[in-house]
Chains A and B, each alone.
Chain A
């Protein structure tokens, strides 16, 4: 296990380097630059409000006239020392900006993954065990959830639960320390939107795995020994079916980070997704780089945890 973790961490360092370099190059190759953003900001107009001379002077001030690899090297040498730099657009310290935004997104994604897994696994088990008409109803409901447009669903929830019933806030985020109740209320609608959209994937995977597990010889043996059906389903079959589901948990957790961009926009949550999109649109390289590094680390840690969970669920995986 120690070797596994050590090997993963070594690969992660290389991965971080490659991804940060690729991001830097791709972002730099995109038309436009941050000097245009700065000079054009606030005008709210379609057209140019600054001269070419102003533009070139600012590019020079920002070091954008230096070769690309020199710019990357400058960023990398600071980043290695823990300094992700300052946004030339907003003036924000990148580490501070990410630190304030990441917890919002992690709250959303962690709760979203948990709720999606609970609902999806529940639906999948019911569908596999009951089958027949109930199974088909569960299948249809879960597929309907994934087919409905997220944006429409989010606005529908907002209109119903916030505007009409007044039960929940339509937008915004409250930190747990300010108000635990406010925190929970602010996340109900965003998380529910994620669950409705994502539960179908879990349900289908769980159903398929459960159907396989329930036909296993060991299950027949348990039945022959008089074990209760509930015990067979929840203690034995579900555990055997859990490995592909755990993989899915990891994938969904990572995937929700991209889905979070949309949710954060609709529900006006100040998360890292909004920060990333805004930074990319503004050609704000330090922020984009910082977000990419942070999210790459999240992916690395998640994958490591998934692998460790495999070992816990299936001792065979632990043996070299």
Chain B
């Protein structure tokens, strides 16, 4: 029987050793978990440990987005600063040639090389454009790049793009626009671009350290010794984490495992209460409803402009915003944001249920009507939609909510004509770009292909306008969209950054700022 006891101890040791051995097989998965692991001690070196979002980028290929990791590992041609201005990076100058926004020229910085020593040339820009135009790549910029009819190599460092139709947003496209060609990939790897998903091949301040990276969980970045501007390398190491639970990220931040974290409104107050510095909100996202059935096919009432306007008057945005996002948002009745093109300071639809009832009566719907909205099933979306529905019920309008699991939502929402409205959640972009997503007849989120000739005309004028003229046109476009009441915008909200101010400085300008880790600097 003593034998049994001995076996039991031995089994224990075997299992413990086995678990350790299994762990060892996982390689270097150090996420900086050790509370005071020597290698990650920010006091000993300038190390930034940052939680970016709850889900990691699908791929490190800049053509597919790549998030903050790519912003540190790929320089962009034109850098969009926190205040929204464009600054040189790999491009020293850029601009439209002549009038009409149909020819765009980019001049490159001389004597800059990729990590393999190959120089950055106009050929690289051309190769990057062509790569992202390939539908198999899945770049969001493909439809915009399709407008480039000819890529002219003026000289080794200058490229001139000829467009098949005017486009006023080329500087934006060649900045850090998600999926855009601004983040320059070494053309040598474009022959076999599969490596881009897991490795980095740019001109970048930092390089991916595969030994300390677990793709999809955390990414370790170390300085590139060959980088052209050593002054811009301000960290000895950057660790970017993607923790699935924001509450866990907050705990890691409070316990000193992280130095900064991008968070939603749900964590801002808790972070401040814990003594963390907070900045934001920024990167404005407009939430509300897209009233897609503007011809009244599913619900005839929605075909009447007065009815759609009534819905806009009936919602107490101030109250909803305070309850849902607090100080991390602000009410809106337009598809723009303060500091962004097209924004109007005065509201179009102040809360006025009497006016809403009056408009409904004028339209012949004094007894109300019903329509259905399709939304992704998440707590945030359901709460907002339910709040809207409660407000609308007060003027006799019944809004039925059809909540779909989020992973099944995107499938047919753009072409689904079975609903009166869809959920709207969109990062605010210049009106010219919003048009191709929302209000032109072939827009990706215009399910019924509704046409408003005024909007089409304004968009065409904006396409060819110079910067000053476009500012006025943007205002007209946003006003026209509001007048048509094709949407029911409710809240502009943004993400904030919680951080340890002893370790990191987070530059911020206004609501339009975007919390990019590439802008973070060591404290002091």
Contacts and interface: CB of A to CB of B under 8 A. Distances in A.
- In this complex, the member of B15, B251, B254, B445 whose beta carbon has the largest number of chain A beta carbons within 10 angstroms is B251
B330 interface: no
Contact of A174 (B33, B195, B425): B33
B31 A174 contact: yes
Contact of A181 (B18, B34, B195, B422): B34
Given A42-B67, A47-B425, A52-B415, A270 B194 contact: no
Nearest to A270: B217
A102 B29 CA distance: 12
Nearest to A267: B248
A77 interface: no
Interface string B1-40: 1001100000010011011111111111111111101000
Interface string B142-166: 1100000000000000000000000
Interface string A48-64: 11111010011001000
Interface in A69-87: 86
B492 interface: no
A235 B1 contact: yes
Contact of A268 (B15, B31, B142): B31
Interface string A161-179: 0110011111111111111
B143 A170 contact: no
Contact of A103 (B16, B23, B244, B423): B23
B65 A42 contact: yes
B245 A89 contact: no
Contacts of A92: 197-198, 215-216
Given A43-B140, A239-B4, A270-B218, A171 B249 contact: yes
A100 interface: yes
B140 A39 contact: yes
Contact of A49 (B1, B5, B290, B444): B444
Interface string B169-211: 0000000001100000000000000111110000000000000
A66 interface: no
Contacts of A37: 58
B437 interface: yes
B64 A177 contact: no
A291 interface: no
Contacts of B375: 46
Given A32-B408, A175-B26, A268-B31, A158 B37 contact: no
B376 A106 contact: no
Contact of B251 (A51, A163, A234, A270): A163
A293 interface: no
B411 A50 contact: no
Interface stretch (A133-141, A204-212, A213-221, A273-281): A273-281
Contacts of B257: 162, 169-172
Nearest to B195: A91
B426 interface: yes
A268 B244 contact: yes
A314 interface: no
B458 interface: no
B395 to A, nearest CB: 25
Contacts of B126: none
Contacts of B65: 41-43
B25 A103 contact: yes
Interface string B384-422: 000000000000000000000011111101110000001
Given A90-B59, A103-B26, A270-B217, A36 B410 contact: yes
Given A92-B215, A107-B22, A114-B16, A42 B58 contact: yes
A45 B427 contact: yes
Given A37-B58, A45-B427, A111-B19, A172 B33 contact: yes
A106 B422 CA distance: 43
A235 B422 CA distance: 67
A213 B203 CA distance: 71
Interface residues of B, number: 89
Interface in B301-324: none
A183 B23 contact: yes
Contacts of B427: 43-45
Nearest to A61: B136
Nearest to B405: A31
A234 B437 CA distance: 71
A102 to B, nearest CB: 8
B238 interface: no
Contacts of A51: 143, 442, 444
A174 B330 CA distance: 42
A114 B31 contact: no
Given A90-B215, A174-B33, A268-B241, A50 B19 contact: no
B191 to A, nearest CB: 15
Contacts of B415: 52
A106 B244 contact: no
B196 A91 contact: yes
B437 A47 contact: yes
B138 to A, nearest CB: 4
- In this complex, the member of A30, A91, A110, A231 whose beta carbon has the largest number of chain B beta carbons within 10 angstroms is A91
- In this complex, the member of A182, A235, A283 whose beta carbon has the largest number of chain B beta carbons within 10 angstroms is A182
Nearest to A159: B251
B417 to A, nearest CB: 14
A130 to B, nearest CB: 22
Contacts of A106: 19, 22
B35 A47 contact: no
A104 interface: yes
Contact of B245 (A44, A100, A268, A278): A268
Contacts of B241: 172, 268
B33 A100 contact: no
Contact of A162 (B5, B18, B255): B255
A110 B13 CA distance: 12
A176 B194 contact: no
B136 A45 contact: no
B446 to A, nearest CB: 10
A266 B30 contact: no
B247 interface: yes
Nearest to A282: B58
A179 B409 contact: no
A175 B245 contact: no
B27 A100 contact: yes
B33 A182 contact: yes
B482 interface: no
Given A114-B16, A270-B29, 18 more contacts: A43-B178, A49-B437, A89-B58, A92-B198, A104-B29, A107-B22, A110-B15, A155-B248, A163-B254, A169-B34, A170-B254, A171-B249, A171-B257, A186-B33, A265-B245, A266-B245, A268-B249, A270-B218
Q: Which 3 A-B pairs have the closest CB atoms?
A: A91-B197, A42-B65, A172-B33
5 contacts: A49-B140, A100-B214, A163-B251, A171-B249, A175-B29
